[in-house]
């Protein structure tokens, strides 16, 4: 897989680059610009080399139609501030405005095409449709750079098909992501601890399968923990349960024990009558109960204080840590304590600490941590999980296999 340093002199050349600018918005205000800042090293390198930069990116799920709610205008404004130069936003993706915007570029200037997901063919399952759109993208570039790690697990026109049409390379962000994740599945420094949270066990099954072979300890929190507690024979009240995977979780516990590895589950849980996600409030009072004694009608919504210490001790004792998924409903202050404890412990690891994108990356920033307090914060939750599952990522494979 080539890097942009292998592309030679790019002065005066048009560099078509795929970035991941799928940032959270409150109206038109970007609430976390981490993914934009992650692209800066590659973009600055290209500008220093006097390339003419044409950026492709997406925002949200407009589902193949133009929707002003998903315009990249806020991204163009923020990127202009961060780069210290105007980023020209085209009024469309591959139409007259995009063509004129690209043709007007001078050396070192930057253009941003509108949301590529405005184009129905971008995410099409029909390869011919995607290739047709990719050819229009390719007309805007002399070379293609892939730097949107959050989408490399997708076979999409701006990620996969266009890479087959132009000389290509990985940007600094994608190269770093692949390097860090290879360290996790290759020969990680031990002890290697994996912390998994989030709502659904089903989303993490393949990751657990693969990491049980590599990790020394799995720490389980979030909504998924209750299926594990059920597998141990405990009552879980009205907590989230994946009934279809109770037996699978039981087998994981047995596999870990047989292999001399640990799966650490909470010893206590914060429970309430429920959570109102829209209004960011808890229903009823928050109580702490033993993990094996959740009352009927109560819902587990975060790990408890004893579990915070248990999890933090396991994390701080590691030389390599990968974390994906919050420990509770971190968007509600009363239910963010478990996630906060895990995040703080990761900053204290004497080794490599990796935050696996998605809600975990959002959580550490909401909780006030700076990116440089961690070894690496992935920009792609889904992509990083699929990498750790051992799956081939189309957007990486196409870079390794061509040009």
Q: Is 322 annotated as a binding residue?
A: no
Alpha carbon of residue 376 to chain centroid: 12
Rounded CA separation 403/393 (Å)? 18
| 21 marked as binding residue | yes
- 176 a known binding residue? no
Q: Identify whether 382 is a catalytic site residue.
A: yes
58 annotated among ligand-binding-site residues: yes
Known binder of ligand: residue 300? Answer: yes
Q: How far is CA 60 from the centre of its chain?
A: 14
Annotated binding residue at 356?
no
Is 237 within any annotated ligand binding site? no
Q: Which of 18, 35, 78, 88 is catalytic?
A: 35
390 is in an annotated binding site: no
Residues in Cβ contact with 213 at an 8 Å cutoff, skipping those fewer than 6 apart:
none
Report how far residue 243's alpha carbon sits from residue 247's, in angstroms, rounded to the nearest whole number. 9
Encoding tokens for residue 100?
A: 């004129």
- Which residues contact residue 250 at a Cβ distance below 8 angstroms, ignoring those fewer than 6 apart? 231, 232
286-to-95, 198, 225, 272 alpha-carbon distances in Å:
54, 20, 18, 5
358 is in an annotated binding site: yes
Extended strands (E) in 267-384: 268-272, 274-276, 281-283, 287-290, 299-303, 320-324, 352-355, 376-377
Is 392 assigned a ligand-binding role in the annotation? no
Phi and psi at 252, nearest 5°, equal -65, -45
Does 22 count as an annotated binding residue? yes
- HSE on the CB side for 96, CA within 13 Å? 0
Q: Which of 200, 316, 344, 365 is catalytic?
A: 200
- Let me know if 344 is a catalytic residue: no
Please tell me which residue in 34, 351, 382, 390 is annotated as part of the active site.
Answer: 382
Catalytic residue list contains 395: no
Asked whether residue 297 is marked as a ligand-binding residue, the answer is no
360 annotated ligand-binding residue: yes
Instruction: Indicate if 260 belongs to the active site.
Output: no
Helix (H) or strand (E) holding 208: helix 205-214
Q: Which of 221, 356, 358, 395 is catalytic?
A: 358
Q: Is 359 annotated as a binding residue?
A: yes
Catalytic residue set: 35, 200, 358, 382
Q: What are the binding residues for substrate?
A: 20-22, 35, 58-61, 117, 154
Which residues line the annotated binding site? Answer: 20-22, 35, 58-61, 117, 154, 204, 300, 331, 357-360
Report the binding-site residues for (2R)-3-phosphoglycerate.
35, 117, 154
Q: Which residues sit in the known binding site for ATP? A: 204, 300, 331, 357-360
């Amino acid at each position: 897989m080539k890097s942009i340093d292998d592309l030679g002199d790019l002065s005066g050349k048009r560099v078509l680059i795929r970035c991941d600018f799928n940032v959270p918005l409150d109206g038109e205000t970007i609430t976390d610009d981490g993914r934009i800042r992650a692209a800066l090293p590659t973009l600055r390198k290209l500008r220093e080399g006097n390339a003419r930069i044409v950026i492709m990116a997406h925002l949200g799920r407009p589902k193949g139609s133009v929707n002003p709610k998903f315009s990249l205008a806020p991204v163009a404004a923020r990127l202009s501030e961060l780069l210290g130069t105007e980023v020209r936003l085209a009024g469309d993706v591959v139409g007259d405005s995009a063509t004129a915007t690209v043709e007007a570029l001078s050396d070192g200037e930057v253009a941003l095409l509108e949301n590529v997901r405005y184009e129905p063919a971008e995410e099409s399952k029909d390869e011919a449709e995607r290739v047709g759109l990719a050819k229009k993208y390719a007309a805007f570039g002399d070379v293609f750079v892939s730097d949107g790690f959050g989408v490399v697990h997708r076979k999409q026109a701006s990620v996969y098909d266009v890479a087959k049409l132009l000389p290509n390379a990985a940007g600094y962000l994608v190269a770093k992501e692949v390097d860090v994740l290879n360290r996790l599945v290759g020969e990680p420094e031990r002890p290697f601890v994996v912390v998994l949270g989030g709502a659904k066990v089903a989303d993490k099954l393949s990751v657990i399968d693969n990491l049980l072979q590599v990790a020394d300890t799995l720490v389980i929190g979030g909504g998924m923990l209750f299926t594990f507690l059920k597998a141990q024979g405990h009552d879980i009240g009205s907590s989230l349960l994946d009934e279809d995977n109770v037996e699978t979780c039981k087998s994981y516990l047995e596999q870990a024990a047989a292999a001399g590895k640990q799966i650490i589950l909470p010893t206590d849980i914060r429970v309430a009558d429920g959570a109102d996600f829209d209004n960011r409030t808890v229903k009823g009072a928050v109580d702490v109960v033993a993990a094996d004694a959740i009352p009927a009608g109560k819902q587990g919504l975060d790990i408890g204080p004893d579990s915070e210490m248990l999890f933090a001790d396991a994390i701080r004792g590691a030389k390599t840590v990968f974390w994906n998924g919050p420990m509770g409903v971190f968007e509600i202050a009363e239910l963010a304590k478990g996630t906060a404890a895990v995040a703080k412990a990761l900053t204290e690891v004497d080794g490599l600490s990796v935050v696996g994108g998605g809600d975990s990356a959002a959580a550490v920033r909401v909780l006030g941590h700076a990116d440089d307090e961690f070894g690496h914060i992935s920009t792609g939750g889904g992509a990083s999980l699929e990498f750790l599952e051992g799956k081939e990522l189309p957007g990486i494979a196409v870079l390794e296999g061509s040009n």
